[in-house]
Structure 1
Amino acid sequence: MKYKKIVISSIQDTLISMGIDSFSKEEIEKILEVPPKQEMGDYAFPCFLLAKKLRKAPPQIAQDLMFNINHEYIEKIEAVGPYVNFFLAKQKIGHEIVMEVLNQKEKFGSLSIGNGKNISIDLSSPNIAKPFSMGHLRSTVIGNALANIMEKCGFTPIKINHLGDWGTQFGKLITAYKMWGNEEKVKANPIKELLALYVRFHEEAEKTPGLEDTGRLWFKRLEEGDKEALSLWKWFREESLKEFERIYQLMGIEFHSFNGEAFYNDKMDEVVELLNEKQLLSESDGAMVVTLDEHESPPCLIKKSDGATLYATRDLAASLFRKREYDFAKALYVVGREQSLHFNQVFHVLKKMGYEWSEDMHHIPFGMMLKDGKKMSTRKGKVVLLEEVLEEAIKLAAKNIEERNPNLADKEEVAKRVGVGAVIFHDLKNDRLHDIEFSLEAMLTFEGETGPYVQYTHARACSILRKGKLEEQGLFSYETYEDDRAWAILSLLMKFEDVIKHAYNQFDPSQIAKYTIDLSQAFNKYYGTVQILKEDDQQQARLQLVKAVAIVLKEGLRLLGLKAPEQM
């Protein structure tokens, strides 16, 4: 942030003039604070660390700094005990920030960290022939938001939906379909029927032990290219993808690739050959493994004793393919935290194979979506379907619109944006590592720290702009920016770029979600106590501030994957 840098440079220059040249800007930034209350200033610099070097008490050093720092962007400096408090020039800076937002519009806050380089993001990855449950929501929305954040930071994101479209479960499903399936029923309602068959298989397998063996046999036939098995598998896959695509469209999420597990079936032999060539494979109880003792990790299983390859083999093949195909600068895997060991092993194996780019690969773990405190299970039929939740949210949004604004144009589209937004935002406002208890009620609350609250704030700002006549250019008085309520908004607008940078560095969309809530609250406080449309020489400055808020809220919501209706 430009103004923070000015304060840091001013402190450093003054320290040098006082004979201290050992403090870098980075060190100053680490100890520079934002005071807990606005009336204490915009930044505070504690002087404790300087006491030894200057052989003075911290309050005296604070006094010395106060008298020696001078800059046009710093309006006032106060020494309070061992702290130096900096008050920025509100009118000058406020006008600059607002003009920056109005001129750059949605590009405000953009960074050039990525320089257009590719970044592959593995997200969503539902299992074929199983419903798209709330359990898959987290990977989908966190991954999509990260793709938007990476793009904002100058990268070219490549969103990959690594579908779960291979494995012994397909042998079980083929077995279940052949025993109890009905073609017409499956065609009429594919996912529901296939799930019922999958659940029934596990119920029957508890009573009939040989059923598991039949399932494994059918999967073996599928692996060997059996015509009937392949035909059923393709049908299950196509029907599932149609269902998934409908949900993705509803959420406004697109992918560059749907290459799933099956895509890498013919690419795993190369991995085994490369590991052999590099003499990294060793035998363990008949299985082939790569030892990772130096990382205090269990060995990475590459081939089972029966010759079958594993997830690690597949992910190694996928890594090699994606590096060649996309030449990524970074590769992100947005997958639950229970897979942390797996990804650590894959990254370590790639490093042992001599691929330095493995250091640019990151597992982005997240907590679970719980129901009644327990993990959702497809096998036991304990799932909450995402599509049903989205539909419920849209219905509630439509009901609220009908009660509050029955004459609203394009009601259906607005209800969709608000309902879907409520579900996405509820997930993203939480720290991604925390588990989330599924609660339809909490997701669909349209007040408080929610997506609809931020969307409504944006719509309110748009409503004010429709009533007022904004002039983006011209000579106006900006005295109104001295007001604490206006400055609370301006201080947040100043921080937008920093928030994006932190979200990027920590792979954490919740920072942006929390920021949009803070900005909405500051704006609503301003709206509730200031006559924005009052006809005086300050009106244009106030309207420009409103416009800046509308632009930044819309962009913040877009980064999270939400739409920002102009009317609600």
Structure 2
Amino acid sequence: MDITKPFAAAIAAQLDHQLTIEEIGALLEKPKFEAQGDLAFPCFTLAKKFRKSPAAVAADIASGIQDSSLAKVVADGPYVNGFLNRSTVSQHVLTTILETGASYGSSSAGADRSITLDLSSPNIAKPFSMGHLRSTVIGNALANIAEKHGYQTVRINHLGDWGTQFGKLIAAYKKWGKDEQIEANPIKELLKLYVKFHEEAKTDPALEIEGRLWFKRLEDGDGEAQRLWTWFREESLQEFNKIYELLDVRFDSVHGEAFYNDKMDEVVELLKEKKLLQESEGAEVVDLSDHDLPPLLIRKSDGATLYGTRDAAAALYRQRQYHFAESLYVVGQEQSLHFKQLFLTLQKMGYEWAQHMHHIPFGFILKNGKKMSTRKGEIVLLEEVIREAIELAGQNIREKNPSLPNPAEVAHQVGVGAIIFHDLKNDRQSNIEFSLEHMLRFEGATGPYVQYTHARACSILRKAEIYNAQLTPNGLDDDASWPVIKLLLAFPEVINRSFKEYEPSVIAKFVLELAQAFNAFYGKVKVLSEDREQETRLALVQAVVIVLNEGLRLLGVKAPMEM
């Protein structure tokens, strides 16, 4: 039910359809105050047309509108304000949600089409830090939202498993590595070696040469270099998978950069065929100056290929393999130029599908106002953060509800949910300050607050002994329930906007607002009072449970029934 349509249609009729319903719908606003109504149409643009003041135009329009879906229509200065028929709207939305359940807000827009999502993509032989969290949880949420729209999703973990850093790591391992320490704690020890290499290289430039030579040996298939690289990769994947399991994130592909080593020659040949390769200071590049972009480097003067070549090969592989309708790259904002160059190069190669490739940038997670750096050892290890969050959540739960039947499971859901929600409630391009204490609060704009609201609503249904009962709601027209009803009604459009903008925070902010509205309702209304509206109030509670649960699920957050 689109509540704006009847109001827009009524205004269009008053204007003899000089504006279409769609044009009017695009101009509609939400009044500043609840007492002013539910929808407002500004008449400023019509004043010149009718040679009247905006207030006079508003008065003329309002006086002629009569519609059963509207309780009343009034002129308020230069605005036409519409008050919806609360009883009709509330009965419709509650019935719809109870009938459709978790499918409420679903769409078939993406049916028979696929979306590839490049997300997470940590570098092997380095710990999974808080810096990798954003790509992982934003990408996972976007995949869930795309699936809600009917798309087939392909989650790709494009591991950073190639490049000169591995030559440096091998050189550091050969120089300072101790097998027994590395075998006992592979990733932490490899990080120590990586940090030590960069510290020592500041005063010993020969180390950089040594690192490059080891990488050359790796590229040439040297047995020792290959053995160490394979070992680093396998140990890393085992560590990463522990974290993905904690976050409940899955992947359909873990093809990293190395997978495309034998697929880059084709890219170079295609660029030559299309006469797109140019020589520049001994290197081969694609000129993008016609779009005011620097050239995309394809091959260095020593014949080595680069990120651009590899990413072009990956794009070709993914299109052939998955026939994607859209391809999303959930990668930090510092890579924006690279993706502009990549997408434009693919378009110049004649690939129409490259127009449907999108970079989804995001800001940094900051520690004390500064970006974390693996090279300097200034990182917060994500696994440690998750386990600490679960432990702290467990302490909070034991204090609040010592008789909870499954405290370990709920502590896991709350601890992990707090971390994910803290990330996703922020606009993705904003930088986020890391604060475990703030994330885990049970009040304020946090994941635990929304989860606790869901659990509270579930407990009301349990007390009423109607948790899975088939309810038949009537309409509600009281002031306490109306803000909740309007939010429930908005959920499908919220999902749609979140998908169009590739912005999970739209849903996160919505579930916060719904939780706040429901708690205000619960504070004013005795839900379980035995009167003729009890069943409808319980239907509202059940609808809130369904929508909060589904909203959190789309974000990758669990919704405990008890806390």
Normalising by the residue count of structure 1, what TM-score does the alignment of the two structures yield? Answer: 0.97
User: Equivalent residue for 2:447?
Assistant: 451
Per the TM alignment, residue 113 of structure 1 is displaced from its structure 2 partner at its CA by 2.0
User: Equivalent residue for 1:191?
Assistant: 187
User: Equivalent residue for 2:485?
Assistant: 490
**In structure 2, the residue corresponding to 1:127 is in which secondary structure?**
coil
**In structure 2, the residue corresponding to 1:484 is in which secondary structure?**
coil
User: Equivalent residue for 2:45?
Assistant: 49
User: Equivalent residue for 1:230?
Assistant: 226
Q: Is the 8 A contact 2:58 2:80 kept in 1?
A: yes
The partner residue of 1:506 within 475, 489, 501 is 501
Per the TM alignment, residue 362 of structure 1 is displaced from its structure 2 partner at its CA by 0.4
User: Equivalent residue for 1:256?
Assistant: 252
Is 1:399 the equivalent of 2:395?
Answer: yes
User: Equivalent residue for 1:381?
Assistant: 377
Please, which runs of 5 or more residues in structure 1 have no aligned partner?
none
Is 1:211 the equivalent of 2:216?
Answer: no
User: Equivalent residue for 2:536?
Assistant: 541
Compute the RMSD of aligned alpha carbons: 1.3
**In structure 2, the residue corresponding to 1:158 is in which secondary structure?**
strand
Per the TM alignment, residue 60 of structure 1 is displaced from its structure 2 partner at its CA by 2.4
Per the TM alignment, residue 57 of structure 1 is displaced from its structure 2 partner at its CA by 2.6
Q: Is the 8 A contact 1:129 1:237 kept in 2?
A: yes
Q: 1:273 & 1:8 partners in 2: Cα distance?
A: 57
Q: 1:265 & 1:467 partners in 2: Cα distance?
A: 61
User: Equivalent residue for 1:12?
Assistant: 12
Deviates more, 1:179-188 or 1:487-496: 179-188
Q: 1:440 & 1:211 partners in 2: Cα distance?
A: 38
User: Equivalent residue for 2:329?
Assistant: 333
Aligned residue runs from structure 1 range 310-349, under 5 A: 310-349=306-345
Per the TM alignment, residue 473 of structure 1 is displaced from its structure 2 partner at its CA by 4.8
Q: 1:270 & 1:313 partners in 2: Cα distance?
A: 10
User: Equivalent residue for 1:440?
Assistant: 436
Aligned residue runs from structure 1 range 354-393, under 5 A: 354-393=350-389
Letter of the structure 2 residue corresponding to residue 531 of structure 1 = K
Per the TM alignment, residue 475 of structure 1 is displaced from its structure 2 partner at its CA by 5.8
The partner residue of 1:516 within 501, 511, 516 is 511
Per the TM alignment, residue 477 of structure 1 is displaced from its structure 2 partner at its CA by 4.7
Q: 2:560 & 2:546 partners in 1: Cα distance?
A: 12
Per the TM alignment, residue 30 of structure 1 is displaced from its structure 2 partner at its CA by 2.2
User: Equivalent residue for 2:295?
Assistant: 299
Letter of the structure 2 residue corresponding to residue 183 of structure 1 = D
Q: Is the 8 A contact 1:477 1:537 kept in 2?
A: no
Q: Is the 8 A contact 2:365 2:372 kept in 1?
A: yes
Q: 1:274 & 1:222 partners in 2: Cα distance?
A: 26
**In structure 1, the residue corresponding to 2:287 is in which secondary structure?**
strand
Q: Is the 8 A contact 1:422 1:443 kept in 2?
A: yes
**In structure 1, the residue corresponding to 2:160 is in which secondary structure?**
coil
1:448-491 Cα offsets, whole Å, 9 max, x none, are 0000000000000000000014385566653xx21111000000
Per the TM alignment, residue 79 of structure 1 is displaced from its structure 2 partner at its CA by 1.2
Is 1:410 the equivalent of 2:386?
Answer: no
The partner residue of 2:279 within 270, 276, 283 is 283
Q: Is the 8 A contact 1:472 1:544 kept in 2?
A: no
Q: 2:472 & 2:421 partners in 1: Cα distance?
A: 39
Q: Is the 8 A contact 2:95 2:473 kept in 1?
A: no
**In structure 1, the residue corresponding to 2:75 is in which secondary structure?**
strand
Q: Is the 8 A contact 1:135 1:376 kept in 2?
A: yes
Aligned residue runs from structure 1 range 93-172, under 5 A: 93-172=89-168
Q: 1:174 & 1:207 partners in 2: Cα distance?
A: 19
The partner residue of 2:556 within 540, 552, 561 is 561
Please, which runs of 5 or more residues in structure 2 have no aligned partner?
none
Letter of the structure 2 residue corresponding to residue 378 of structure 1 = T
% identity of equivalent residues: 60
Q: 1:315 & 1:327 partners in 2: Cα distance?
A: 17
Per the TM alignment, residue 234 of structure 1 is displaced from its structure 2 partner at its CA by 0.6
Q: 2:218 & 2:472 partners in 1: Cα distance?
A: 74
> What is the aligned residue count?
562
Q: 1:56 & 1:540 partners in 2: Cα distance?
A: 50
Per the TM alignment, residue 200 of structure 1 is displaced from its structure 2 partner at its CA by 1.3
Letter of the structure 2 residue corresponding to residue 379 of structure 1 = R
Q: Is the 8 A contact 1:62 1:80 kept in 2?
A: yes
Per the TM alignment, residue 289 of structure 1 is displaced from its structure 2 partner at its CA by 0.5
Q: Is the 8 A contact 2:94 2:473 kept in 1?
A: no
Q: 1:275 & 1:195 partners in 2: Cα distance?
A: 38
Q: Is the 8 A contact 1:102 1:472 kept in 2?
A: no
The partner residue of 1:70 within 66, 69, 75 is 66
The partner residue of 2:80 within 71, 84, 102 is 84
Q: 2:255 & 2:508 partners in 1: Cα distance?
A: 31
Q: 1:229 & 1:156 partners in 2: Cα distance?
A: 39
Per the TM alignment, residue 40 of structure 1 is displaced from its structure 2 partner at its CA by 0.8
Is 1:528 the equivalent of 2:527?
Answer: no
1:204-227 Cα offsets, whole Å, 9 max, x none, are 222322111111111101001111
Is 1:462 the equivalent of 2:467?
Answer: no
Q: 2:44 & 2:129 partners in 1: Cα distance?
A: 54
**In structure 2, the residue corresponding to 1:165 is in which secondary structure?**
coil
Deviates more, 1:284-293 or 1:54-63: 54-63
Taking a change above 3 Å as real, the CA distance of residues 475 and 111 of structure 1, as seen in their structure-2 partners, is: closer
Q: Is the 8 A contact 1:476 1:537 kept in 2?
A: no
Per the TM alignment, residue 497 of structure 1 is displaced from its structure 2 partner at its CA by 1.0
Q: 1:483 & 1:245 partners in 2: Cα distance?
A: 50
Is 1:31 the equivalent of 2:23?
Answer: no
1:17-47 Cα offsets, whole Å, 9 max, x none, are xxxx342333212211111111111101111
Taking a change above 3 Å as real, the CA distance of residues 51 and 469 of structure 1, as seen in their structure-2 partners, is: same
**In structure 2, the residue corresponding to 1:2 is in which secondary structure?**
coil
Q: 1:379 & 1:413 partners in 2: Cα distance?
A: 36
Per the TM alignment, residue 311 of structure 1 is displaced from its structure 2 partner at its CA by 0.3
**In structure 1, the residue corresponding to 2:154 is in which secondary structure?**
strand
**In structure 1, the residue corresponding to 2:335 is in which secondary structure?**
helix
**In structure 2, the residue corresponding to 1:298 is in which secondary structure?**
coil
Per the TM alignment, residue 48 of structure 1 is displaced from its structure 2 partner at its CA by 1.6
Taking a change above 3 Å as real, the CA distance of residues 473 and 235 of structure 1, as seen in their structure-2 partners, is: closer
Taking a change above 3 Å as real, the CA distance of residues 33 and 203 of structure 1, as seen in their structure-2 partners, is: same
Q: 2:102 & 2:298 partners in 1: Cα distance?
A: 47
Q: 1:9 & 1:122 partners in 2: Cα distance?
A: 43
Letter of the structure 1 residue corresponding to residue 553 of structure 2 = R
Any runs of at least 4 consecutive aligned residues in structure 1 with deviations exceeding 3 A, and if so which? 469-478
**In structure 2, the residue corresponding to 1:44 is in which secondary structure?**
strand
Q: Is the 8 A contact 1:168 1:219 kept in 2?
A: yes
Taking a change above 3 Å as real, the CA distance of residues 22 and 534 of structure 1, as seen in their structure-2 partners, is: same
Q: Is the 8 A contact 1:369 1:375 kept in 2?
A: yes
Is 1:420 the equivalent of 2:419?
Answer: no
Q: Is the 8 A contact 2:283 2:300 kept in 1?
A: yes
Normalising by the residue count of structure 2, what TM-score does the alignment of the two structures yield? Answer: 0.98
